[in-house]
């Protein structure tokens, strides 16, 4: 993680960052037994990796942030797997 400053009088920027930290706490950190600062860093890094490379995001048309950032996906076009149509009997 790195420190990012928001512009003055732009609460929308800070709110999204605060929500991100809240999600990390409730989805990962509060569920684990964290014994020291190095363990906290490992858990936070695992969450960041999953959040950016594994988990699809609704705001990015259900694409993953890493895919959008690298140009592998368009943030306006959903990248769902094609549904498998099984024959009916």
Percent of residues, the chain, with pLDDT higher than 90: 43
CB 4 within 8 A of CB 17: yes
CB 13 within 8 A of CB 4: no
Residue 85 confidence (pLDDT) above 90: no
Q: Which residue has the tokens 């099984």?
A: 86
Q: What is the pLDDT of residues 23-50, one digit of tens each?
A: 889 988 899 899 999 999 999 999 999 9
5 band by pLDDT with thresholds 50, 70 and 90: confident
CA angle in degrees (0–180, nearest 5) for 28-29-33: 115
The predicted model gives 53-74 an average pLDDT of 91
């Amino acid at each position: 993680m790195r420190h990012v400053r928001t512009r003055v009088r732009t609460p929308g920027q800070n709110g999204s960052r605060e929500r991100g930290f809240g999600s990390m706490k409730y989805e990962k950190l509060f569920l684990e037994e964290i014994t020291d600062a190095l363990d906290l860093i490992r858990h936070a890094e695992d969450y960041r990796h999953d959040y950016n490379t594994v988990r699809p995001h609704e705001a990015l048309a259900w694409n993953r942030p890493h895919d959008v950032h690298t140009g592998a996906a368009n943030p306006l076009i959903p990248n769902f797997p094609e549904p498998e149509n099984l024959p009916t009997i």
